C-alpha cells in the first residue's frame, strides 16, 4: 500500500482517506485523560516546551493569534494572556472531544471573552488570508494527513510578517539518548496509557507517529517549500522536541 493513495498511521499503512478518522478515534479515546497523561509522560516538561514556544511568539497587546490543533488549550491560553483584552485568539481542533475540553478549561480560566473555539481541519483553515499575527501548532502536525497542505494553509492565514511556530516531537540529537528514548516510548508510554487511560493502543500509536514524523531538517525544508521565510528551529530536551519557526 506504499503509494499515493496510502499514508502512515503510526507504523501501519492506511488509505489516506481513512487516516483522519483513525486519528479522530485516538483522540476521542484519550481526551478525558489528555492533560494528566501529558504531565505523566513528559514528567511535566511539556509545560517548559510550551512556555518556550510562547516566549518566541512574543505577541503585543491587541494582536490576533491562531492555535491550530490546539487540543485542551494550553498554547491558546498563553497567547490570550499576551494579546490582552484588546486582542483575540482562535483555538481550533478537528476533534470535537478535545475542543470541548479546551473550551471548558478556557472557561475555567476566565479567558473566553478573547478566545473563540472553532472545529476546523488544519489542511483547510476556514479563515481569510492574512488574518493572524502569529499561528501556533503544538504536537498536532504529525497527526495531519497532508502536512504540506496544512503548512500552506497556515501560511496563507498569516499576515505579512507574521510567524508560524511548530512545536513537535522530533529526533534526539544527544549521543546515547535515542535508545533510552525508544525504550521509554515503546514500553513505558503504552503501560502508562493502559494504567491511567485504559488505552495502551492509542499511546503506542502516539509513540509510532513520532518516529514517522519528519526530522528537524526535513520539516525545515517543508516549511520553506510552503513559502515561509527566515525558517529555523530550536532543539529542546536534546532534540526530543523541536520548535520550528518561519515567517510569511
Q: What is the pLDDT of residues 183-233, one digit of tens each?
A: 999 999 999 999 998 899 999 998 999 999 999 999 999 999 999 999 999
Q: Which residues pair with 91 in a beta bridge?
A: 67, 117
**What size, in residues, is the chain?**
248
Q: What is the pLDDT of residues 10-29, one digit of tens each?
A: 999 999 988 988 988 888 88
Q: Which domains does the chain have, with CATH numbers?
A: 30-174+203-247 (3.40.50.150)
Helix axes 34-42, 45-57, angle to 10 degrees: 100
Closest C-alpha to 166, from 58, 245, 81, 87: 245
Name the helix (H) or strand (E) containing 157.
Answer: helix 147-157
Q: How far is CA 11 from CA 6, 7, 15, 23, in A?
A: 12, 10, 13, 13
Query: Rounded distance, CA 135 to CA 203, Å?
Result: 27
pTM: 0.94
Amino acid at each position: 500500500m506504499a503509494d499515493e493513495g496510502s499514508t502512515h498511521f503510526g507504523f501501519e499503512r492506511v488509505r489516506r482517506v481513512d487516516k483522519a478518522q483513525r486519528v479522530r478515534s485516538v483522540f476521542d479515546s484519550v481526551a478525558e485523560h489528555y492533560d494528566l497523561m501529558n504531565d505523566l509522560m513528559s514528567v511535566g516538561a511539556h509545560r517548559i516546551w510550551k512556555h518556550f514556544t510562547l516566549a518566541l511568539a512574543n505577541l503585543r497587546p491587541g494582536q490576533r493569534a491562531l492555535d491550530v490543533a490546539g487540543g485542551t488549550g494550553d498554547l491558546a491560553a498563553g497567547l490570550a494572556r499576551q494579546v490582552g483584552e484588546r486582542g483575540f485568539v482562535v483555538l481550533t481542533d478537528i476533534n470535537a472531544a478535545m475542543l470541548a475540553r479546551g473550551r471548558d478549561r478556557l472557561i475555567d480560566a476566565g479567558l473566553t471573552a478573547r478566545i473563540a473555539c472553532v472545529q476546523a481541519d488544519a489542511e483547510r483553515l476556514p479563515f481569510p488570508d492574512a488574518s493572524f499575527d502569529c499561528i501556533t501548532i503544538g504536537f498536532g502536525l504529525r497527526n495531519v494527513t497532508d502536512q504540506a497542505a496544512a503548512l500552506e494553509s497556515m501560511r496563507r492565514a498569516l499576515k505579512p510578517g507574521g510567524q508560524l511556530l511548530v512545536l513537535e516531537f522530533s529526533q534526539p540529537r544527544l549521543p546515547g539518548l535515542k535508545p533510552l528514548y525508544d525504550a521509554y516510548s515503546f514500553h513505558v508510554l503504552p503501560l502508562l496509557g493502559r494504567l491511567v487511560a485504559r488505552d495502551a493502543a492509542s499511546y503506542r500509536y502516539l509513540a509510532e507517529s513520532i518516529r514517522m514524523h519528519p526530522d528537524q531538517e526535513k520539516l525545515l525544508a517543508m516549511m520553506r517549500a510552503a513559502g515561509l521565510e527566515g525558517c529555523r528551529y530550536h532543539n529542546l530536551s536534546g532534540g526530543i522536541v523541536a520548535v520550528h519557526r518561519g515567517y510569511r
